[in-house]
């Protein structure tokens, strides 16, 4: 049957012999793509009387939505929290390199920094679609400086700030601009944080709770004002206590506004969170779990000394510490590694592991209508994986942007 070109001249590609992750299940059906979008084959057949121009045999691969990393500080020698003249080339390098790990969209993350760094770096971050040049940029994640001194983790204490009389104006003055900002991590116990959360949420910016000594009541109040995310659950917050579970208690709180879901990030690298803690969180609130790498500049590099913003860090195997201490400072795990570790640690299905790195972050950012799924009319950002969840090929807008070479398969 010839293609009907009255609707579009663009070629129709049919991916065959595959299992597609759709509606939370791996389904044995074909994937149809045109002009960077997932096609509904019924409409194609019955309304357009069309068919495929190109057929690609996927050799029984899994096809899943591309991964979305909402917390990545850098990688491959690039540190997003360092103000450099060639910052754009650095972010381009990272966006290209993470394609091989299945990441098709990400939020470049800046740790606590002096205002001058935000003023120089943020104007150089542009929200853009992904493609052969690299993964798409969804906007910046600003982790700090409005966080707790007691739970600063790897963040430099001399750069930490509080909300003064101006509150939201203080935040604006610190960052310089919110034009490209998608997520802000702050400590909800800080005075005037509620009005800041409300102002950020009103502007469509996701507020995340982290690096905090907040009790459960303070965390619930933050959610009621609009916060929807928890930054790397268990890390840099009060440990769970049965009389006041703190931020962790949000996973089973009965004070979440109706129709809202609280999401939480997990660094599933085998270092930051004990597998038992990962299992507890997942079983308590499976639909809120978002896998993040929290990767630093040393991801993809040999062990040794690297940077994380204003700090020097040492990499020893999969451990990364602030130099001269045992304070963990981000991760060097890649997203595909985190997905596989999550599945192994929890015993969950492949579908659940893949959705934690795709559907859930898309839902967090409110973009699930176009990313994080393989629903009809969504962006054709997807991966081919084998049964062990190793990435074989990465596609953005229906175009192959990375493929495992024959020697590596």
Its pTM stands at: 0.96
Binding site annotation covers 329?
yes
Are the C-beta atoms of 200 and 225 separated by less than 8 Å?
no
Cα–Cα dist 227/263, whole Å: 10
- Assess whether 294 carries a catalytic annotation: yes
Radius of gyration of the chain (CA): 21
Neighbours of 215 (CB within 10 A): 19
The DSSP secondary-structure symbol of 235 reads: T
What's residue 253's pLDDT? 97
| Cis status of the peptide bond prior to 369, with omega within 30 of 0 | no
- CA distances (Å), origin 41, targets 22, 25, 257: 15, 19, 39
Q: Return the structure tokens found at 208.
A: 């995340």
pLDDT at residue number 44: 81
b/e string for 182-212 if b means 16 or more Cβ within 10 A? bbbbbbbbbebbbebbbbbbeeebbbbbbbb
Point out the catalytic residue in the list 79, 269, 294, 381.
294
Reduce the DSSP state of residue 384 to 3 states and report it.
strand
Give the chain's count of helices (H) and strands (E).
10, 22
CA–CA separation, 316 and 345 (whole Å): 22
Q: Could you give the strand order of the β-sheet that contains 319-322, starting from the edge strand earlier in sequence?
A: 304-308, 311-316, 319-322
Q: Alpha helix locations (H) across 122-246?
A: 168-175, 193-202, 216-224
Count CB neighbours of 120 within 10 A: 17
Both structure tokens of 18: 């595959």
Residue 391 confidence (pLDDT): 98
Give the chain's domains with CATH numbers: 13-64+373-403 (2.30.40.10), 65-365 (3.20.20.140)
Residue 208 pairs in a beta bridge with 185, 229
Quote the pLDDT of residue 7.
59
The 10 Å CB-count burial string (b at 16+, else e) for 39-52 is: bebeebeeebebbb
Residues 236-272: tens digit of each pLDDT: 999 999 999 999 999 999 999 999 999 999 999 999 9
Calculated CA dihedral for residues 245, 248, 251, 254, nearest 10 degrees: 40
Please give the pLDDT value at position 406. Answer: 45
- Does 243 show up as a binding residue in the annotation? yes
- Whether 71 contacts 141, CB under 8 Å: yes
3-state helix, strand, coil in the chain (%, to 5): 25, 30, 45
Q: Is 211 annotated as a binding residue?
A: yes
pLDDT value at position 99?
98
Is 3 annotated to bind a ligand? Reply is no
Q: Which residues of the chain have pLDDT under 50?
A: 1-6, 406-409
Instruction: State which H helix or E strand residue 142 sits in.
Output: strand 140-143
232 is in an annotated binding site: yes
Task: Determine whether the annotation assigns residue 242 to a binding site.
Answer: no
pLDDT for position 53:
94
Concatenated DSSP letters of 256-284: SPTT---EEEE--SSSSS-HHHHHHHHHH
What's the rounded Cα separation, in Å, for the pair 354 and 191?
38
157 is in an annotated binding site: no
Q: Is 214 left (phi over 0), alpha (psi -120 to 50) or beta?
A: beta
């Amino acid at each position: 049957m010839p293609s009907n070109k009255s609707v579009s001249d663009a070629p129709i590609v049919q991916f065959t012999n595959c299992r597609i992750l759709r509606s939370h299940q791996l389904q044995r059906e074909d994937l149809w793509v045109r002009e960077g979008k997932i096609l509904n084959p019924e409409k194609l057949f019955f309304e357009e009387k069309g068919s495929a121009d190109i057929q690609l045999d996927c050799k029984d691969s899994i096809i899943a939505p591309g991964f979305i990393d909402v917390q990545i500080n850098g990688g491959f020698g690039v540190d997003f929290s360092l103000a450099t003249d060639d910052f754009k080339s650095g972010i381009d390098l990272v966006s290209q390199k993470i394609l091989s790990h299945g990441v098709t969209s990400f939020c470049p993350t800046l740790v606590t920094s002096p205002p001058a760094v935000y003023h120089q770096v943020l104007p150089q971050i542009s929200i853009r679609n992904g493609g052969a040049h690299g993964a798409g940029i969804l906007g910046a994640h600003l982790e700090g400086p409005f966080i707790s001194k007691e739970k600063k983790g790897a963040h430099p204490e001399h750069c930490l700030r509080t909300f003064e009389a101006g509150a939201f104006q203080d935040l604006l003055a610190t960052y310089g601009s919110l034009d490209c900002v998608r997520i802000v991590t702050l400590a909800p116990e800080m005075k005037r944080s509620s009005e800041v959360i409300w102002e950020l949420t009103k502007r469509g910016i996701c507020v995340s709770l982290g690096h905090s000594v907040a009790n459960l009541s303070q965390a619930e109040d933050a959610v009621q004002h609009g916060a929807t995310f928890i930054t790397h659950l268990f890390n840099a917050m009060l440990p769970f206590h049965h009389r006041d579970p703190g931020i962790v208690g949000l996973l089973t709180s009965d004070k979440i506004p109706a129709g809202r879901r609280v999401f939480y990030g997990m660094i599933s690298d085998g270092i930051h969170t004990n597998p038992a803690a990962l299992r507890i969180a997942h079983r308590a609130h499976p639909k809120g779990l978002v896998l993040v790498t929290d990767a630093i500049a040393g991801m993809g590099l040999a062990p040794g000394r690297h940077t994380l913003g204003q700090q020097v860090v040492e990499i020893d195997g999969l451990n990364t510490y602030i130099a001269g201490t045992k304070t963990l400072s981000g991760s060097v795990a890649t997203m595909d590694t985190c997905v596989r570790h999550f599945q192994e640690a929890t015993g969950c299905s492949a579908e659940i592991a893949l959705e934690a790195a795709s559907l859930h972050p898309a839902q967090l950012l409110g973009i699930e209508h176009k990313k994080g799924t393989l629903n009809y009319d969504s962006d054709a950002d997807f991966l081919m994986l084998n049964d062990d969840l190793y990435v074989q090929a990465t596609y953005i807008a229906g175009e192959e942007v990375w493929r495992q070479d024959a020697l590596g398969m």
